[in-house]
A = this chain, B = another copy of it.
Amino acid sequence: MDTIKYLLQEQDIPKYWYNIQSDLPEPAAPVLHPGTKQPVGPDDLAPLFPMELIMQEVSTEREIEIPEPVRDIYRQWRPTPMYRARRLEQMLDTPARIYYKYEGISPVGSHKPNTAVPQAFYNKQAGVKRLTTETGAGQWGSSLAMACSFFGIECEVYMVRVSYDQKPYRRGLMEAYGASVTASPSNKTNAGRSILAEHPDSTGSLGIAISEAVELAATSDDTKYALGSVLNHVLLHQSVIGLESMRQMEMADDGVDILIGCTGGGSNFAGIAFPFIGKKLRGEGGPRVIAVEPSACPSLTKGKFAYDFGDTAHLTPLTKMHTLGSTFVPPGFHAGGLRYHGMAPLVSHLHDIGEIDAISYNQLQTFRAGLQFAQAEGILPAPEANHAVAAAIEEAEKCREEGVSKSILFNLCGHGNFDMQAYIDYQAGKLVDYEYAEEEIAMALAGLPVV
């Protein structure tokens, strides 16, 4: 009764990314120019992204070919393993069959390199010399730093001040890959300087860091910007997770009844879920899909489906998404990767048309689930991934109570090696559940742009 691994061969690394825009019953709402409020064209985005990525952003082709140099690098850790968690099933005494796809074996320990590598590749191809980006906890920043070091591109990361001070290890990793890391808000940009003028002690936010990185890219010729989640092309690149999982479920000779992913910006969730949802949209059937978010940053469960900015300084285009308002600052909880005020437009759209269920958990329940998982399966999950683990355990316990055997698949998007302080705090009883303030969200939502 031990954990079973389902391992694909190198030739099984997908040759094409899957683009869910091809299968939508109605297209997602267009992205709007922040000034004119008219749909943006490719040229509007050209200062920020190379044309190949812009074309992917708006493509409605079902399959987009993965360039060979990108597959060459994917090969280093892909195909990633899928496991049947039989030791966990035993621990839970459940008739459920629990599967997890494990993205933590990438060199930086998460799914983020799946998009960092193609983004660096297309930028290199377009002659870009430098990429700017933002990072919160540092998963994305270290992935882009690694990808840039492979392609010989400079990497400049704006790291939320509070993480910069409290999480020196992720910063150290980015610097090990040769990236330069700046605490945000900084004096290097207008956006940063204006925040600092008003709040000299600002601890920063992802929205502010995005403003800084975007401003730098928009105002330098040889520099572009890279985003680690939310955008359509990022979700597209992550589809390798779900495409591989489908083949691995065939190896396991099993179907999926319940599919689970955690959501911050939406990219790891979309990565595993979109290929399955696409089949469903094409009438071929598919699982119930659950997005799990933290109660402390509940964009899908408590936010509004409306046009909003991606950043605090309102430099980005307007996208229609589930949002808590671009001025919403989530409280200090430990899943740093899930602290974004918005949700990927494609995830939001699919939630809106009823293809995705959303639930939220408080952090104590997720850490409890993560430790249970570690003791059964050996892998200590990232706090973000613990949200998916907690949902899988809850569904497996329901199976036990109801005496039914369902097949549950979740995405274990990363390991927790860089999050030990959170586990130590949890085990020392120092973490508390946070009840977000309804009025804070209401206030942030009241500030949504009028479109």
Choose one: B108, B173, B427; the contact of A172 (CB below 8 Å).
B427
Among A174-182, A235-243, A255-263, A301-309, the one that faces the other chain is A174-182
Chain A contacts with B in 414-444, Cβ cutoff 8 A: 417-418, 420-421, 423-424, 427
- Contact partner, A423, options B4, B83, B176, B421, Cβ 8 Å: B176
Task: Report the bound CA distance from A421 to B421 in whole Å.
Answer: 14
Check: A41 CB closer than 8 A to any chain B CB. Answer: no
Q: How far is the CB of A1 from chain B (nearest CB, A)?
A: 9
Query: Contact: A375 with B10, CB < 8 Å?
Result: no
Are B380 and A173 in touch, CB under 8 angstroms?
yes
Binds B, one of A71-79, A278-286, A388-396: A71-79
| Residue in B72, B168, B374 whose CB lies within 8 Å of A424 | B168
Establish whether residues B150 and A87, one from each chain, have CB atoms under 8 Å apart when the complex forms. Answer: yes
B169–A374 touching, CB < 8 Å:
no
Q: Which residue of the partner chain B has the closest CB to A424?
A: B172
Q: Does A105 contact B (CB under 8 A)?
A: yes
Given contacts A87-B150, A109-B417, A173-B380, contact A375 B76 (CB under 8 A): no
Q: Give A429 to B279 CA distance when docked, in angstroms.
A: 54
Give the residue of B168, B177, B421, B427 whose beta carbon is less than 8 angstroms from that of A175: B427
> What is the CB-to-nearest-CB distance from A126 to chain B, in angstroms, rounded to a whole number?
20
**For the complex, is A27 an interface residue (Cβ under 8 Å from B)?**
no
Given contacts A146-B378, A172-B424, contact A75 B417 (CB under 8 A): no
User: A173 and B378: CB pair below 8 A?
Assistant: no
Given contacts A107-B378, A169-B420, contact A2 B427 (CB under 8 A): no
For residue A149, CB closer than 8 A to chain B, the reply is yes
Instruction: Please report whether the interface of chain A is mostly helix, strand, loop or mixed according to DSSP.
Output: helix
Supposing A76-B83, A427-B175 touch, asked if A105 and B105 sit within 8 A by C-beta, the answer is yes
> With A and B bound together, what is the CA distance between A288 and B69 in angstroms?
35
Asked if A64 is at the interface (CB within 8 A of a chain B CB), the reply is no
Chain B residues with CB under 8 A of A420: 168-169, 172-173, 418
Given contacts A176-B423, A176-B427, A417-B109, contact A72 B2 (CB under 8 A): yes
Q: A10's contact among B7, B10, B109, by CB below 8 Å, is which?
A: B7
Q: A371 contacts the other chain (Cβ, under 8 Å)? A: yes
A5 within 8 A of B: yes
Contact partners of A24 in chain B: CB under 8 A: none
Residues of B within 8 A of A175 (CB): 424, 427
Docked complex Cα distance between A172 and B73 (Å):
33
Contacts of A105 in B (CB 8 A): 105
Known A5-B75, A172-B427, A423-B172: A375·B177 in contact at CB below 8 Å: yes
Q: Per a CB cutoff under 8 Å, which of B69, B87, B176, B377 touches A371?
A: B176
Beyond A172-B424, A177-B374, A178-B375: 12 further Cβ-contacts under 8 Å? A4-B75, A5-B76, A7-B9, A107-B377, A168-B420, A169-B420, A169-B421, A169-B424, A173-B380, A176-B371, A176-B380, A176-B427
23 contacts between A and B (CB under 8 A): A2-B69, A2-B75, A3-B73, A3-B76, A4-B75, A7-B10, A107-B379, A107-B380, A108-B378, A146-B378, A149-B375, A149-B376, A169-B420, A169-B421, A169-B424, A172-B423, A172-B427, A173-B420, A173-B423, A175-B424, A176-B371, A176-B375, A176-B380
